[in-house]
């Protein structure tokens, strides 16, 4: 399997761990995003107002759910900005 | 390090392998995208017309370069559509 596909599947497995907690298993609700941020980006988890702003930013197509492509684009942008890579 | 950050860094290393071939080391030119598609998505690499269409789709902000966030969003969408995950 090509490396990029394999690496994305690993990332999808982590995404699914949070996305699978309630409702639609393929996307993040706001509560699931809160869990993900708290566990994966401890420095970023703020109050409800910040969570709302994050969720709005992530939900590119405004359907109230965050898909895997929406999530990886956001996480990649975040890490580039934070200078993590 | 949180898992998502670690996994994105692995993906970034693969991206950088192609992005680093010419000019701007942080983004893919059209020639670099052609290399990446040929090696990582053998089934997708088509003729010049298809490459042009891909590049236009990937270059969300129309700056003639494909950034890491633009790339991961596109690759994630592609893999979801292809049913790879």
Task: Reduce the secondary structure of B11-67 to three states and give it as a string.
Answer: HHHHHHHHHCCCCCCCCECHHHHHHHHHHHCCCCCCCHHHHHHHHHHHCCCCCCCEC
Tell whether the torsion through CA atoms of A37, A74, A6 and B68 is positive or negative: negative
Q: What is the mean pLDDT of each run of 10 residues along chain B (85 residues)?
A: 84 94 90 90 76 85 90 87 68
**B14·A7 Cβ contact <8 A:** yes
The CATH number of whichever domain residue A35 belongs to comes to 1.10.238.10
Choose the mutation target among B14, B33, B69, B70 for the interface with A, i.e. most A CBs under 10 Å: B69
Whether ipTM > 0.85 holds is no
Choose the mutation target among A1, A14, A69, A82 for the interface with B, i.e. most B CBs under 10 Å: A69
| Number of domains observed in the structure of chain A | 1
What does the block give as tokens for A42? 């401890």
pLDDT in tens, A24-37: 889 999 999 999 98
Q: Predicted confidence band at A45 (pLDDT cuts at 50, 70, 90)?
A: low
Query: How far is the C-alpha of A22 from the C-alpha of A85, rounded, in Å?
Result: 32
Backbone angles phi, psi at B28, to 5 degrees: -95, 130
**B8·A11 Cβ contact <8 A:** yes
Question: Which residue range(s) make up the domain with A12?
Answer: 3-81
Report the candidate in A54, A21, A25 with the shortest Cα–Cα distance to residue A37. Answer: A54
């Amino acid at each position: 399997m090509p490396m990029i596909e394999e690496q994305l599947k690993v990332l999808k497995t982590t995404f699914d761990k949070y996305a699978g907690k309630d409702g639609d298993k393929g996307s993040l609700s706001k509560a699931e995003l809160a869990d993900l941020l708290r566990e994966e980006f401890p420095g970023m988890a703020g109050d409800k107002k910040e969570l709302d702003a994050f969720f709005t930013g992530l939900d590119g197509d405004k359907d109230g759910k965050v898909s895997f492509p929406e999530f990886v684009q956001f996480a990649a942008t975040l890490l580039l900005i934070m200078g993590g890579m």
